């Protein structure tokens, strides 16, 4: 993922979230003054909540009046490289949403995340609605493994009955547009897709695009904040 940071960052409050069976995971809460919503923000498969991408999104949303609760999945908390089974990951999503509802009482809750984190959030919502969550947002939905195009990972989205925002790079090799666009169209009117031109799965753009990663991040966060404002 591209290493881009906003400065100065907001001060993040460290929390611990119980996820069941006596286990707990770390979390970081940023709640700016006059926040209007909170994004319960799950990380991708290969990098935890403190990765520069996660930090940049959290600070950027803070600048736009949106609180964030970033949290670890149990495998990341333990330093493992192997993602948790879906049931464990979904239980963690649910626990994080409960914690967000407690520490951000009165704020509209949005849930989702980067890649794997967004997919686990959508699976949790499809299985049983997440308490108080008004919409899901995906920062690079991993529709299929690289080089193995399929839309099978999207089947559960038909059971999600709240608004969804897909923010996707046009060069994302984990979501071929020829497959993703019909998926989102089929979920309309509850789902919308915003394409980030020339961006890959990490929202990095090549120099030949005429833009840099900071500009791409600003575009994505502006779209995200505007979408939250309409919920």
For tokens 């195009």, name the residue: 149
- pLDDT interval class at 204 (50, 70, 90): very high
What phi and psi values does residue 33 have, to the nearest 5 degrees? -60, 140
Q: Is residue 46 part of a domain?
A: yes
The domain tally of the chain equals 1
Q: What is the pLDDT of residues 110-123, one digit of tens each?
A: 999 999 999 999 99
Taking residues 49-74, what's their average pLDDT? 97
In a domain, 86, yes or no: yes
* Site of tokens 């409050």: 13
Query: 191 in a domain, yes or no?
Result: yes
pLDDT the model gives residue 8: 52
pLDDT of residue 231: 87
- Whether residue 155 is predicted with pLDDT greater than 90 in this model: the reply is yes
Residue at 7 is within a domain: no
pLDDT band at 2 (very low <50, low <70, confident <90, very high): very low
d(CA 14, CA 176): 37
- pLDDT at site 10: 86
Instruction: Compute the mean pLDDT over every residue in the chain, rounded to the nearest whole number.
Output: 94
Residue 90 has pLDDT above 60, yes or no: yes
Give the pLDDT band (50/70/90) at residue 1: very low
- At 3 the pLDDT is 42
| Residue 8 falls inside a structural domain | no
Residue 64 sits in a domain whose CATH number is 3.40.50.1820
Whether residue 3 lies inside any domain: the answer is: no
The parent domain of residue 43 ranges over 13-230
* CA atoms of 26 and 48, how far apart (whole Å): 10
Strands (DSSP E) contained in the chain are 13-20, 23-30, 37-42, 66-71, 108-114, 133-139, 164-169, 191-196
Give the end-to-end CA distance of the chain in Å, rounded to a whole number. 29
* 185 domain residue, yes or no: yes
Q: Is residue 141 part of a domain?
A: yes
32: helix, coil or strand?
coil
Residue 18: pLDDT over 90: yes
């Amino acid at each position: 993922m591209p290493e881009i940071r906003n400065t100065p960052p907001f001060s993040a409050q460290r929390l611990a979230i119980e996820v069941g069976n006596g286990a707990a995971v770390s979390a970081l809460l940023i709640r700016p003054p006059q926040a209007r919503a909170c994004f319960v923000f799950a990380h991708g498969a290969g990098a935890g909540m403190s990765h520069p991408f996660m930090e940049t999104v959290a600070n950027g949303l803070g600048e736009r009046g949106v609180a964030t609760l970033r949290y670890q999945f149990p495998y990341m908390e333990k330093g493992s490289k192997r993602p948790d089974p879906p049931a464990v990951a979904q239980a963690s999503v649910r626990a994080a949403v409960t914690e967000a509802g407690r520490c951000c009482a009165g704020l509209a809750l949005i849930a989702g995340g980067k890649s794997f984190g967004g997919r686990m959030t959508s699976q949790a919502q499809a299985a049983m609605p997440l308490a108080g969550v008004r919409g899901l947002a995906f920062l690079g939905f991993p529709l299929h493994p690289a080089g193995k195009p399929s839309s099978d990972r999207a089947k559960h989205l038909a059971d999600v009955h709240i608004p969804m925002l897909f923010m996707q790079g046009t060069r994302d090799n984990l979501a071929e547009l020829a497959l993703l666009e019909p998926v989102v169209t089929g979920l309309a009117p509850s789902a919308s897709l915003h394409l980030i031109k020339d961006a890959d799965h990490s929202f990095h753009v090549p120099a030949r695009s005429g833009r840099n990663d900071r500009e791409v991040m600003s575009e994505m966060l502006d779209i995200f904040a505007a979408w939250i404002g309409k919920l």
